[in-house]
A and B are shown apart, each in its own frame.
Chain A
Amino acid sequence: MKKRFILFCTVALMAIAMLVTGCGGSSDNANEGTPGAGKAENILVWGRGGDSVGLDPSMITDGESGKVTINVFDTLVEYEPDNTAVQAALATDWEVSEDGTVWTFNLREGVKFHDGTDFNAEAVVINVERWMNKDHPLNNGECKYWSYMFNGYAPDSIVTKVEATGDYQVQFSLKEPFAPFIQNLAMFPFAIASPAALEEYGSDFFKNPVGTGPFKFVEWIQDDKVTLVKNEEYWGEVAKIDTLVFRSIPDNSARFLELQAGTIDMMDGVNPDDVAAAKANEQFQMILRPSMNVGYLALNTEKEPLGNKQVRQAINMAINKQAIIDAFFAGLAKPAKNPLPPSLWGYNDDIVPYEYNPEQAKALLAEAGYPDGFKTTVWAMPVPRPYMPQGQKVAEAIQADLAAVGIEAEIVSYEWGIYLEKAENGEHDMILLGWTGDNGDPDNFIYALLDKDNAVKGSSNNYAFYKSDQVHDLLIKAQREMDQDKRSDLYKQAQVIIHEDAPWVPLDHSTDPLVLMKYVKGYMPHPTGIEKVNTVSVQ
């Protein structure tokens, strides 16, 4: 009797075990990612580290949002697929007046927004006015990039007026000549949204984006995925894939596991420790994104004792960049000495970097009046970024380096959105951040990140709150100057001053690896970190 009971239990347990293992085996069928075989569905699933903040391109500044919106929207002009030279997009051609203050664009005719309304000069004017004016009624937030790139909002902005001079012609009037104008206008935030949809959705436009791009928006499930489908009526090359899905999988290694399981087709933000495994896997291909970025530790000059230049220089000497890069970038990065990446013109290679020297750092701290160091905080981003895939771990290494010279730093972290907001408000002491170039112009690094114009609490992009009049004068001069050699020289001078003042510890210029299934073809990573994927196929 009892034996029979035990038998019964055993059978029951076995049945359950079989159910479990049976399902395990079946999941192999779901993974159709055999090399070279292609996929049954014409869909590209892109695994990424963070969710988008919003899908209204003009209201966002982060790459995770931008890599979605660039596929839904078009700009007047855009970058060539593998570099930052400007080419025609929604504008077919353009010219600048002799004094450099009036830009005229001829627009592409016959283009329709995804909601069926027409793209024309009027739509462009509405969009530009929305960017220019901080409190425009169609804004749900503000177009921060406009302020960063065009010297503030109206009436301070360098752009004074935009008007339709025909059904398919618009004209921008500038206060003064502005060298990076056309380069800036190709950036993803200056994308043309459907005015009808802006009206219709109002403050919900950020989750109902309507543009003219190669993909139409379908749905966005927060913290999960964004789904787009191809736009058959696209004016350019119609997408080869039917559906494009961006899945947020915050954990680097979990995302890599998904790729191995075949549930996603490509991923960025590869954990440096997984790079070797990715290279070894025959199902995968690894593509390196051309490097145009910088990862840095900004020292908030408005917080004591970081206001002291000697302290900032000492911190620069205390941090062992090479060791950090070896450990947390899989060697796929170069140590930085300037805010500019070396691939950009204007990079000052004559700068001699601060040498890693804890002894000298200590001496300098003592000289500055802090022989016993001090207490402070290091903020670390909670999500992997292309310029720093392992921010938390880098922060811990920095914490140990600082401890070695007597500086006791606590690591602080917030959810990514809050992190940026608090940083914009200058609540941090030292903060890890980085920047991927948007347009290939040095102005986009030095002016955007270190000019006093951008050290405004609440919308700062200059997280060191570094306010140097000297640097400001040089940068403004460079903006007005149309000759590239002269501009390059001005930027080099600015870098000398910045190096001396040390508002940052420039850490790295990383090469972000992307790992894709072999069947993903035609993928061309852009140096700006975001690209249209209409040319990609998965068959």
Chain B
Amino acid sequence: MLSYIIKRILMIIPVIIGVSILSFLLIHLVPGDPARMMLGERATPKQLVELRETLGLNDPLYVQYGRFVEKAVQGDLGSSVRSKMPVFEEMGNKLPATLELTLFALTIAVLLGGLAGVVSAVKPYSIFDNLSMGLALFGVSIPVFWLGLMLIWIFGVHLHMLPPSGRLTVGVELQTITNLYILDSLLTGNWKAFKDALSHIIMPAVALSTIPMAMIARVTRSSMLEVLGQDYIRTAWAKGLPGRLVIFRHAFKNAFLPVLTVIGLQFGYLLGGAVMTEEIFSWPGVGRWLFVAISARDFPIVQGGILMVALLFVTINLIVDILYTYVDPRIRLD
């Protein structure tokens, strides 16, 4: 077990190196001088020289890369050009919002998608199956940004039920512990803040959950179908065990592995890739932060932020892979 984990960790080292190279090159391979792009071809040559100096752009690429890595290892990813704040610190400020949104969206996706998948598999080709698989196809086809706008139009504009943007109404007091507002409000027993935070997160979370929900539903269904066809399940049915017990104890437990993969992958992607949703709902998270930084050509953020997002993704995958070994001991044999 331990040796597998160590091996798995060693395997991601080349990936991490590659990821760091790619984040670095993303900025440096773009035609044009980064200093010039940042300063907008500002007239004073002095400023250009100074900025090149501070960014170390005069050195050969590999020297720059070496310095980037050296600093990154020490937790220094440079500072934002606009706010002058360390990239690491800014990321730390944005991550909880994204984490909260992602977790909430994934919870919706797992509950509804998983349930739909299981029921569809138990009664394949039933009306429910056709309906939920049809909905799943809609789920992967619907533009998230459009869904977001329509949700705002219905629940924000027409029904005035939900606030259209932000995480918390300004003025609602909340003592932060984890910076996951829903969790914090529960921990501090702040009912008002809890309701406020919840009303803010619902629409973006629903919009964000469509794709993972659809994928989870489809994977759960096919995985369950496969398991339900196997002998030991038939035996269990034949033994007269209660249906729910067979489905959840025996079948779902074994069908869970591919679902776990989807969840892990989606979790990783959503952490950095929820750009559209965060943008539409003005959700102050990582995706929107990176999008603004890209448009404002705030290169230290683009470089450092994208690197961290990719590392998070790799780490989550590692964790998922290791979890496998608990769920399915056969994996250890590799």
Contacts and interface: CB of A to CB of B under 8 A. Distances in A.
Given A249-B282, A254-B165, 18 more contacts: A1-B242, A12-B115, A23-B199, A27-B162, A27-B163, A29-B195, A43-B170, A221-B93, A223-B288, A223-B292, A245-B170, A245-B171, A249-B165, A257-B157, A264-B170, A415-B297, A424-B40, A459-B43
B234 interface: no
Interface string A1-15: 110111011001100
Contacts of A484: none
A408 interface: no
B42 A425 contact: yes
7 contacts: A2-B243, A13-B115, A24-B161, A30-B172, A254-B165, A257-B164, A421-B40
Nearest to B167: A224
Nearest to B170: A45
Contacts of B163: 27, 30, 258, 261, 263
A422 interface: yes
Interface in B97-131: 108, 111-112, 115, 119, 122-123, 128
B169 interface: yes
Interface residues of A, number: 57
B111 A12 contact: yes
Interface of B: 39-44, 82-84, 93, 108, 111-112, 115, 119, 122-123, 128, 152, 155-157, 159-166, 169-172, 192, 195-196, 198-199, 202, 242-244, 247, 282, 284, 288-289, 292, 295-297
A207 interface: yes
Given A203-B84, A264-B170, A27 B42 contact: no
A41 B171 contact: yes
A257 B284 CA distance: 18
B160 A261 contact: yes
A51 to B, nearest CB: 9
A23 B169 CA distance: 14
A4 B162 contact: no
A223 B202 contact: no
A9 B282 CA distance: 34
B114 to A, nearest CB: 11
Interface of A: 1-2, 4-6, 8-9, 12-13, 16, 20, 23-30, 39, 41, 43, 45, 203-204, 207, 221-225, 243, 245, 247, 249-251, 254, 257-258, 260-261, 263-264, 414-415, 417-418, 421-422, 424-425, 427, 456-459
A425 B295 contact: no
B84 A207 contact: yes
Nearest to A382: B295
Contacts of B171: 39, 41, 43, 45, 243, 245
Given A222-B82, A421-B42, A422-B41, A2 B196 contact: no
Contact of A417 (B41, B82, B165): B82
A263 B169 contact: yes
Given A5-B122, A207-B83, A418-B297, A25 B165 contact: no
Contacts of B115: 9, 12-13
Contact of B202 (A20, A263, A264, A418): A20
Q: Is the interface of A mostly helix, strand, loop or mixed?
A: helix
Q: Which A-B residue pairs are the 7 nearest by beta carbons?
A: A458-B43, A421-B40, A27-B199, A24-B161, A1-B243, A26-B195, A257-B164
A243 B166 CA distance: 19
A484 to B, nearest CB: 36
B94 to A, nearest CB: 10
A415 B296 contact: yes
B82 A4 contact: no
Contacts of A424: 40, 42
B244 A4 contact: yes
A225 B170 CA distance: 9
B161 A204 contact: no
Nearest to B297: A418
A417 B244 CA distance: 60
Given A27-B195, A29-B195, A422-B40, A417 B296 contact: yes
A508 B95 CA distance: 43
Instruction: Select the residue from B39, B40, B160, B289 with max chain A CB neighbours within 10 A.
Output: B40
A160 B271 CA distance: 56
Contact of B40 (A29, A207, A418): A418
Given A8-B244, A224-B284, A249-B165, A2 B123 contact: yes
A179 B286 CA distance: 51
A457 B43 contact: yes
A5 B119 contact: yes
Nearest to B47: A458
Contacts of A263: 163, 166, 169-170
Contacts of B44: 458
Given A29-B195, A247-B170, A5 B244 contact: yes
A507 B196 CA distance: 44
A261 B202 contact: no
Nearest to A456: B43
B32 to A, nearest CB: 13
A9 B296 CA distance: 48
Given A258-B164, A263-B166, A30 B41 contact: no
Contacts of B244: 1, 4-5, 8
Contacts of A23: 195, 198-199, 202
Contact of A418 (B169, B170, B198, B296): B296
Contacts of B156: 257, 261
Nearest to B93: A221
Contacts of A223: 284, 288-289, 292
B238 to A, nearest CB: 14
Given A26-B199, A43-B170, A261 B164 contact: yes
